[in-house]
């Protein structure tokens, strides 16, 4: 398996522009996670999907952030409009989750976002 695939790997944009990050989870995994990593705040969970349904989006910073999972093999994280403070590395991860037991998460390589 190719693992979790993210695109783009790097994105540089100007403040106010729309940014769309993409993720393809590992085939057969039923859960997908979007994380943001910065030096100041560490690794933060933004949103988590189970069977394509958003379960917990309490980590989404504000209305400028939105995420979708139209099918089991694709998810997007959109920032509109982007701001310099959104600059971070965004990770997508997938896992098999069943009941009260969670298995390990498999992370993608990340998208390094720079908003000027």
Partner 1 sequence: SQQGEEDPQALSIQEGENATMNCSYKTSINNLQWYRQNSGRGLVHLILIRSNEREKHSGRLRVTLDTSKKSSSLLITASRAADTASYFCATLTQGAQKLVFGQGTRLTINP
**71's tokens:** 């099918």
According to the binding rule CB under 8 A, does residue 61 interact with partner 1? no
Give the whole-angstrom CA distance, residue 102 versus residue 110.
22
DSSP state letters, 3-61: --EEE-SEEEE-TT--EEEEEEPPTT--EEEEEEEETTTEEEEEEEEETTEEEE-TT--
Closest approach of Cβ 81 to partner 1, in Å? 27
Give the whole-angstrom CA distance, residue 113 versus residue 8.
9
- Exactly one of 14, 51, 80, 102 binds partner 1 (CB under 8 A); that residue is 102
According to the binding rule CB under 8 A, does residue 12 interact with partner 1? no
Tell me whether residue 14 or residue 56 sits nearer to partner 1 (CB atom). Answer: 56
**7's tokens:** 């695109």
Query: Using CB under 8 A, which of the segments 13-21, 60-68, 70-78, 106-114 binds partner 1?
Result: 106-114
Pattern 24-43, binding to partner 1, x per CB under 8 A? Answer: ---------x--------xx
Query: Which residues form the interface with partner 1 (CB under 8 A)?
Result: 4, 33, 42-43, 45, 48, 55-56, 91, 93, 100-110
């Amino acid at each position: 398996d190719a693992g979790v695939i993210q695109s783009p790997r790097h994105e540089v944009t100007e403040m106010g522009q729309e940014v769309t990050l993409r993720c393809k989870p590992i085939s057969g995994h039923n859960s997908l996670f979007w994380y943001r990593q910065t030096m100041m705040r560490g690794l933060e969970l933004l949103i988590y999907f189970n069977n394509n349904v958003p379960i917990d989006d309490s980590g989404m910073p504000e209305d400028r952030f939105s995420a979708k999972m139209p099918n089991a093999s694709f998810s997007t994280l959109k920032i509109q409009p982007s701001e310099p403070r959104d600059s971070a590395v965004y990770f997508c991860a997938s896992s098999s989750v069943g009941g009260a037991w969670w298995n390990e998460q498999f992370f993608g390589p990340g998208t390094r976002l720079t908003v000027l």
